[in-house]
Structure 1
Amino acid sequence: MPDAKSDTPDDVSERRTHKQTDPATKFRSHPVERTVHLVTSPAPAQHTNASTSRRKSADHASGNTTQKKTDQFAKFENLREKGMWLVIPPPADTIDRDNGGARSALAEVGIGYVGGSVNTFISNQLPNAARSTIRDQLYAGQNPTFSTLNFMFVTYDLSRFGIPDGQIIVGAEQQYWTWKPGGPDRAGLNTIAYYQTFFGGKLEIKAGYLRNINEFAGTVVGGNAAANVFGASSNILYQAGMSNNAAPTPALNLKYNFDDRFYNRISIQRSLSPDGQLAQIAENPAGLNWSTANAGVLLLNESGYKNKAAPGLPETWLRAGAGFNNSSYTNLQHPEQPRANANSIYYVAADRQLWQSDVRSSAARGIYGGFSVMYAPPDLNRVSQYYELRLYAKGLFGSRPTDQIAIVATNTVWSNCAVDAALAQGHLVHRDTTAVAGTYPRIWHRAYTVA
């Protein structure tokens, strides 16, 4: 039986339909038992046949019980946050699952929820790093650095009132860093959003205080929030003013689906502070302010092609986007001059499934490859270029169908204006930074034993 934790809602629905339309399977054991009693044969043979029949009947009952346990999570799919490319772990993969029936009771009145905690410790492992600490820490890990991020989302289903795919999302977040520029510390709003569709799903609308980092570009390898960390690509998008989990801003997003693969998504978003994420959170830690100093409007557009994996059809996601921001930025080449306007960002990215390891049962399992390229003007952005190559696998091992392995190589090119200014001040600088990361985060599931 496929692992429902990694199945799509369509897979779950197909299995439920099959179970309902195959009565022969449900009652197969009863004629066998009657036949055993009617056939005249030696006692040992009767005993063997009867035992076999009872085992088959017990195995079938066990299968039905397991199927019921699998299907019980399908009813929560409509309560997961809609409109994002990011895949947050479903209820079946959470610690509390449906213990005590609390999640089911809330789902009966249209309420869904998900929460999580991400804790990170980074330390410099060079031979002399432990002998002294840096008074003015410049980056995470230069001194031992700890961070914690805790969040909770609650959704309310409006489709129960006849609103197509209607949903309200409310979320809160708390974070703490020992190195304050990495965060900084905050507790406040994560999102307040309204979502619904029109014209049979052709048009999607999402409005409120949004995190557009989860709506555009696709910055997480494989799209799975539980199995990956955000890459450096996020930094270049934050510079351009794109909102994120720690800094939501007012926005209106519209997505038009030309068919089930081609789409175009646009956004009118209040920009982050042009002085960066640290300035944004310091001025607006709760996230409720309409704007911050010198912040204007960010216009985003992304066009793409995306198809889900199916038997014999590899998964593919191609996207290209651009953003234009009229906030007042400091010109890095002439920092003493009045602030400049009209910052911008451009990106292209692609992901392709190269091999399907389980075509029939779970087509999404297999090996993938992808790349990202991003650019921002060097006179207004400290990160000017970003390149990424990735090779990753989903469910490579049959015993671990939801695990993901990734190897990611990145090259970050710093603004020549910022580098030249640092050289003039006598600082040690690098023109670019290259990194290779390998990750294998394991997704742990609770096991059921059916007696």
Structure 2
Amino acid sequence: MRLRSNLAVMVLALLSVQGAMAASTGPAKDESGALAESPQTVTADPAPATPPTAPTVVAETAPASVPAVPVAPASGSDLYSDVRIKGIFVDFPPPAGTLTGDNSFRRMLAENGIGYQGFWVGHVEDNVLGGSAGSGPPAGKQRYDGQRNTYIATANLAVVADLSRYGIPDGQIVVDGVWIRTNWTAGTPDVLTLGQLYYYQTLFNKRVEAKLGYLGNDFEFYGPYIAGNITNVIFGASGTVPAEAGLSSSLASRPGVNLTFHLTDAIYDKFGVQAASSPDGYGQENLENPSSLKWHIKNARTLLINELGYKTEPTASRMQSWYRAGYIHNNSLYTDYKNGGRATGEYAWYLMGDQQVYGFSASAPYRGLFAGFSVQRGNSEFTAIDSTYELRFYAVGPFASRPQDTYSFIIDRNSFSPYAQAASRAAGSLTHSSSTTFTLAYKAKVYRGVYAGVGVRYTNNPTPITYAPDTGSALVVTANLTFLF
């Protein structure tokens, strides 16, 4: 598989996280949280013929910003409760917490069953280590995002139609669009596309949630944007194990159905079936399907995913917890690094946990110290980045005077398929077997609906699998500014 960058700075319905880890998996509550940004993607080009050639990779770093910044739950307005997106792991702040605020236009729309939420994110990053600017052959080539000064601008607008007024419990239709511009299109293409378009409702007294339509399931499952781990997902959203296994993205949404079963108030099981994303990555899919509306993608078939989780919200007497385990099966035709040609049999699994270990304030229980981990594994025969391990430590609102600031330290290690490495060496490329990243980051609220972040990220092997003699290590300094509307 030849990977190319293809940002999905999908701050998605760009969402905020209630508590340090996101809102309930149940219907969204009228609470505020801070922005959870989504990462960029590294995508794959069409697979080589038999035998597979070496995966030549251009790496990218994810938009370096700091972790999501949860804010204290705010008393909601009944006027907006049915026109804010429901049934998501993370929740956008209420209108009063956005830059445009609780204005007369917004109220007029809500009175007629229409809501909106949007964001704009701009971020820049630059590698400050000498000798790593991509001066080697071919001369001056940039190989990963941030290797040279790189900027990315991302915007999203979601519109929500309330169907509960027509007798459909919690019913909604949600549609959002995505716009991206960058100065390095080899890593991130300029994009204007459908983000998601789906129907949502609850059943059996809210014990079951159903979604049907074009879905970005990287955002629906496994909570990848917790604690700002976007800052150290060095190879982007398409360079994660679930993405390589075919899980759809909001930048390349696919038709599907998701069902969430709330077995208890804390235990849930979430099942999804979707048309799989291209087995050659989001980049190839964007070439074939720039609008995201196409049903059939070459070599892509059907993906099944199931996640079992335990999630509790913080209270004055209870710390916040979120543990989840998931399995993915995909019968698409993948490039077979081991045997050559195309074959089926792709699968992946993940185990993740986030735990509040200390609370700073009984009156604001979302504030505290948190620790988390992630383990993701894919089938080495088909998955170039076949495993990821992460440890994360973060503090939310450590100072009463700055209750919405967030600090984080994250360690991330990616390992590469031995079969993909062998294919690269056979083609005469230099290879490495793993990549490790250390990230230190900070994000602050500077105004209502406005957040600023800075971070520094060190990576020992900033390109996956293959590299050039002058690639070197990366010490990337980043800054970003986010506006919520």
**TM-score, with structure 2 as normaliser:** 0.73
Count of residue pairs brought into register by the alignment: 380
Structure 1 match to 2:131: 128
Deviation at residue 307 of structure 1 after TM alignment: 0.8
Q: Which amino acid aligns with 2:115?
A: G
Query: AA paired with 1:168?
Result: I
The counterpart of 2:189, out of the listed 184, 189, 195, is 184
What one-letter code is carried by the residue in structure 2 that aligns with 1:322? Y
Question: How far is the alpha carbon of 1:291 from its aligned partner?
Answer: 2.2
Q: Is the 8 A contact 1:263 1:304 kept in 2?
A: yes
Report the alpha carbon displacement of residue 130 of structure 1 after superposing the two structures with TM: 5.4
Q: Is the 8 A contact 1:271 1:298 kept in 2?
A: yes
Residue 410 of structure 1: how far off its partner (Å): 0.3
The answer to whether the Cα contact below 8 Å between 1:184 and 1:282 also exists between their aligned partners in 2 is no
Tell whether the 8 Å contact from 2:387 to 2:415 is kept in structure 1 after alignment: yes
1:105 correspondence with 2:118 = no
User: 1:90 & 1:229 partners in 2: Cα distance?
Assistant: 25
CA distance in 2, matches of 1:446, 1:329: 46
Rounded to whole Å, the distance in 2 between the matches of 1:10 and 1:342 is 39
Task: Please state if 1:353 is matched with 2:334.
Answer: no
| Contact 2:79 2:111 survives alignment (8 Å) | no
Give the structure 2 partner of residue 53 of structure 1: none
Deviation at 1:120, TM superposition (A): 2.5
What are structure 2's unaligned runs of at least 5 residues? 1-16, 32-73, 450-485
1:228 CA drift (Å): 6.1
Which residue matches 1:393? Answer: 395
Alignment of 1:385-424 (within 5 A): 385-424=387-426
Q: Is the 8 A contact 1:86 1:214 kept in 2?
A: no
Structure-1 residue corresponding to 2:266: 261
Pick from 422, 426, 440 the counterpart of residue 428 of structure 2. 426
The answer to which structure has the higher helix fraction is 1
**Contact preservation (8 Å) 2:232, 2:410:** no
Change (3 A) 1:87 1:11: closer
Partner of 2:82: 78
Residue 412 of structure 1, CA deviation? 0.4
1:368 aligns to 2:396 (yes or no): no
Corresponding residue for 2:178? 173
Q: CA deviation at 1:81?
A: 1.2
Q: Aligned partner of 1:86: which letter?
A: V
Contact 2:133 2:147 survives alignment (8 Å): no
1:138-167 superposed Cα distances (whole Å, 9 cap, x missing partner): 321233332221110011111122211111
Structure 1 or 2, whichever has the larger Rg, is: 1
Give the percent of matched residue pairs that are identical in Structure 1 and Structure 2: 35
Q: Which amino acid aligns with 2:380?
A: P
Report if aligned partners of 1:149, 1:173 keep a CA contact under 8 Å in 2. yes
Q: Per residue, is there more strand in 1 or in 2?
A: 2
Aligned equivalent of 1:323, options 324, 328, 332: 328
Say whether the 8 Å CA contact 2:134–2:147 is kept in structure 1. no
Equivalent-residue separation in structure 2 for 1:79 and 1:104 (angstroms):
11
User: For the Cα contact (< 8 Å) 1:242–1:272, is it kept in 2?
Assistant: yes
Partner AA of 1:315 in structure 2: Q
Alpha-carbon deviations, 1:10-57, whole Å to 9, x = none? 798xxxxxxxxxxxxxxxxxxxxxxxxxxxxxxxxxxxxxxxxxxxxx
1:219–1:231 Cα contact (<8 Å) kept:
no
- Pair 1:137 & 2:139 matched: no
Q: Distance in 1 between matches of 2:212 and 2:231?
A: 26
Contact 1:85 1:215 in 2 (8 A): yes
Matched, 1:271 2:276: yes
CA distance in 1, matches of 2:372, 2:327: 19
The answer as to whether partners of 1:378 and 1:384 remain within 8 angstroms in 2 is yes
Q: Does 1:435 align with 2:437?
A: yes
Structure 2: distance between partners of 1:308 and 1:72: 17
Task: Work out which of the residue numbers 88, 95, 99 in structure 2 matches 1:95.
Answer: 99
Letter in structure 2 aligned against 1:90: P
- Within 5 Å, give how 1:17-36 maps onto structure 2: none
Give how far 1:244 is off. 1.1
Deviation at 1:310, TM superposition (A): 1.0
CA apart distance, 1:73:
4.7
| Alpha-carbon offset, residue 132 of structure 1 | 4.0
Residue 173 to residue 429, structure 1, CA distance change in 2 (3 Å): same
Q: Does 1:286 align with 2:296?
A: no
CA–CA distance in structure 2, aligned partners of residues 280 and 269 of structure 1 = 15
| Cα distance change, pair 10–156 in 1 and its aligned pair in 2 (3 A) | closer
What displacement does 1:168 show? 0.9
The Cα shift of 1:131 comes to 8.7
Q: Is the 8 A contact 1:6 1:401 kept in 2?
A: no
Gaps of 5+ in 1: 13-69
Deviation for aligned residue 1:388: 0.5
Question: Once superposed, what is the RMSD of the aligned Cα atoms?
Answer: 2.5
Specify the SS of the correspondent of 2:127: coil
Where does residue 53 of structure 2 map in the other structure?
A: none
> CA 1:177–1:334 in 2, change beyond 3 Å: closer, same or farther?
farther
The answer on 1:161 being equivalent to 2:166 is yes
What is the CA-CA distance between 1:389 and the residue it aligns to?
0.4
C-alpha separation between the residues in 1 aligned to 2:97 and 2:441? Answer: 20
Indicate conservation of the 8 Å contact 2:158/2:175, yes or no: yes
CA contact (8 A) 2:313 2:321 kept: yes
Aligned-pair distance for 1:119? 2.1
Per-residue deviation, residues 356-387 of structure 1 (Å, max 9, x unmatched): 1111x221111111100000011101100100
Contact 2:370/2:393 (<8 A) preserved: yes
In 2: Cα distance, 1:205 partner to 1:256 partner? 9
User: C-alpha displacement at 1:201, in angstroms?
Assistant: 0.6
Change (3 A) 1:228 1:139: closer
Q: Is the 8 A contact 1:353 1:367 kept in 2?
A: yes
Q: 1 CA distance for matches of 2:18 and 2:304? A: 35
After TM superposition, give the deviation of residue 74 of structure 1 in Å: 5.8
